[in-house]
């Protein structure tokens, strides 16, 4: 089957050994396959799924468990940052794409406040105005959802503090 892009005229060829499929069914089959293949590519590139620390079954289980936890945490961040997480074509940015922006651009001090019954997360670096706004929105949503505390943390609450945004003349980051 040959498919022509209406906007730019490029041609793509799709083939299958499933002789009974219609052209539409072939395209639907490829669409499902690409979702899976892109997911595997993301797991390898962003979460080092192909870099398991040994062959001991316990280590393999722990590795897959941690990859699963990290992937779910990133999906929560994706939902919270909404439009900031989207590429211009509408696809969602992968962890590998945003690792430098979200995690390597600045550090944070995490402390336990016993009298406030909370975990305090204070960012030590400044971010761009756009990223600061998006992170503040994400943290407000997290705070609203967890205002009574997180049961997984024994009822502790999360409090986030960001530094003021960095000015454009001082900016040397990605966003």
Taking only the tens place, the pLDDT of each residue in 7-50 is 887 877 777 788 888 878 888 888 888 888 888 888 888 888 88
- 131: in domain: yes
158: confidence class by pLDDT, cuts 50, 70, 90: confident
- 42: in domain: no
Contact 108, 160 (CB under 8 A): no
Q: What is the structure's pLDDT at 103?
A: 63
- 114: in domain: yes
- 2: in domain: no
Q: What number of CA atoms fall less than 13 Å from residue 56's CA on the CB side?
A: 6
pLDDT at 83 over 80: no
Q: What is the structure's pLDDT at 175?
A: 45
Contact 108, 123 (CB under 8 A): yes
pLDDT at 95 over 70: yes
Q: Summarize the confidence of residues 80-84 as an average pLDDT.
A: 72
**Which structural domain range is residue 111 located in?**
106-175
pTM reported for the whole predicted model: 0.54
- 56: in domain: no
- 4: in domain: no
Q: What is the structure's pLDDT at 114?
A: 72
- 112: in domain: yes
- 58: in domain: no
How many domains are there within the chain? 1
First to last CA, the chain: 42
């Amino acid at each position: 089957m040959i498919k022509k892009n209406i906007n730019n005229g490029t041609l793509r060829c799709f083939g299958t050994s499933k002789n009974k499929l219609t052209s539409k069914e072939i395209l639907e089959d490829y669409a499902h396959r690409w979702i899976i293949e892109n997911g595997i590519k993301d797991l390898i590139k962003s979460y080092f799924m192909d870099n398991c620390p040994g062959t001991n079954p316990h280590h393999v289980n722990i590795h897959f468990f941690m990859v699963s936890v990290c992937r779910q945490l990133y999906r929560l961040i994706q939902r919270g940052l909404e439009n900031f997480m989207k590429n211009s074509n509408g696809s969602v940015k992968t962890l590998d794409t945003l690792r430098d922006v979200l995690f390597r651009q600045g550090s944070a001090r995490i402390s336990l406040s016993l009298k406030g019954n909370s975990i305090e997360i204070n960012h030590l670096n400044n971010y761009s105005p756009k990223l600061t706004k998006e992170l503040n929105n994400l943290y407000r949503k997290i705070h609203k959802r967890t205002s009574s505390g997180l049961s997984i943390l024994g009822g502790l609450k999360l409090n986030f503090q960001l530094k003021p945004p960095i000015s454009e003349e001082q900016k040397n980051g990605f966003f």
